[in-house]
Amino acid sequence: MKRKKLWISLVAIIAVVCAIFVGAGFYFFNVACVPSKKSFISNSNVVKKSDPLYKEKKWYFDHYKQRWYMTSASDNYKLDANYIPAGKSKKTAILLHGYMNNKNTMSAYANLFHKLGYNVLMPDARAHGQSQGKYIGYGWIEKADVKKWANKVVKRNGQNSKIVIFGVSMGGATTMMTSGEKLPKQVKALVEDCGYTDVKSEIEHEAQSLYNMPKFPRFPLVEILSAINRVKVGYFLADGSSVNQLKKNKHPMLFIHGAKDTFVPTKMVYANYKASQGPKELWIVPGAKHAKSYATHPKAYEKHIEHFLSKYVN
């Protein structure tokens, strides 16, 4: 009788512990994958004169912008983008923003590419900005949308289009994940700035960095979150791999990463760079924190972009 009571108590304890972990998994899924204001992310569109990129950002906000719309590659969400033409140029840069940011946070980069003679297309990723969507896909779901945007550019601007895909942070990861897809021939080169190697590794890193979470309970919490993500979003976190997609990439790619990036650790860029199978260059930006490479060294940043693209987009 005592043994039976012991087993019942043990099973009850295990059930409670499992329920706690599953509940925690759902909590962190909502934090990581459901769009909402995040205390650890800044996406202010206020342009301050103290900003080293003030002129570039002001140009964007003062400039006339067309609105482009598209339905997502799956789920039929309405996606929103700004488009700034550069005269009769056949060159177009598709600019991809970061996690819980929006198209307007890419303002300085819009100016950079426009000065280089590119039309600029700036989509709000699904579940961001003015685009519809229920969950954040960390680039793995969005890569199909980017491919569809590229095809839309070709349809609107002609078969002679020359397209560059550029992204920062989650946008950088989206760029790398997109690189492994079968893209239209008009895509000539890609540039990624501070993207992660894979979704699972980045979320594990943030669990440790933002919450000081030790290895246990980080495992099994991230595994539970991954299973929830598979049911709700459609993929396990480890499947969302920049590295595996880059192994299929043959396009020229420039990799940029801040030397002092702790949000997406600088070490991740080396695995990404090594995996890419096309012509490639790597620039580790001295003193730059996460997504601050352009602001830290504006002139050098512009020169690196211009020099790299001049080889592949004429």
The answer to the question of residue 135 being in a domain is yes
CA–CA separation, 5 and 151 (whole Å): 65
pLDDT in tens, 155-187: 999 999 999 999 999 999 999 999 999 999 999
Q: Are strands 119-123 and 78-84 parallel, antiparallel or unpaired?
A: antiparallel
Model pTM score: 0.95
Determine the Cα–Cα distance for residues 141 and 233; give it in Å rounded to an integer: 8
The whole-number pLDDT of residue 171 equals 98
Whether 3 is in a domain gets the answer: no
In this model, does residue 19 exceed pLDDT 90? no
pLDDT recorded at residue 9: 63
User: Average of pLDDT values for 10-17?
Assistant: 65
What confidence score (pLDDT) does residue 14 get?
Answer: 66
Whole-angstrom CA distances from 49 to 55, 103, 245 are 8, 21, 40
* 104 belongs to a structural domain: yes
pLDDT above 70 as % of the chain: 92
Split into its structural domains, the chain has a count of 1
> Quick check: is 86 in a domain?
yes
Residue 217 lies in a domain: no
At residue 211 the predicted structure's pLDDT band, cuts being 50, 70 and 90, is confident
CATH number, domain containing residue 294: 3.40.50.1820
pLDDT of residue 99: 97
- Over residues 219-254, the pLDDT tens digits come to 899 999 999 999 999 999 999 999 999 999 999 999
* In-domain check, residue 283: yes
Q: Which residues pair with 282 in a beta bridge?
A: 255
Q: How many CA atoms lie within 13 A of 122 on its CB side?
A: 27
306 found inside a domain: yes
Q: How many CB atoms lie within 10 A of CB 75?
A: 14
Question: Containing domain of residue 64, as a range?
Answer: 51-198+240-310
pLDDT at 37: 80
The reply to whether 224 falls in a domain is no
Task: Please choose, from the candidates 311, 269, 313, 312, the residue with its C-alpha nearest in 3D space to the C-alpha of residue 290.
Answer: 269
Check pLDDT > 70 for residue 7: no
Q: Choose the weakest-confidence range: 2-16, 107-121, 252-266, 300-314.
A: 2-16
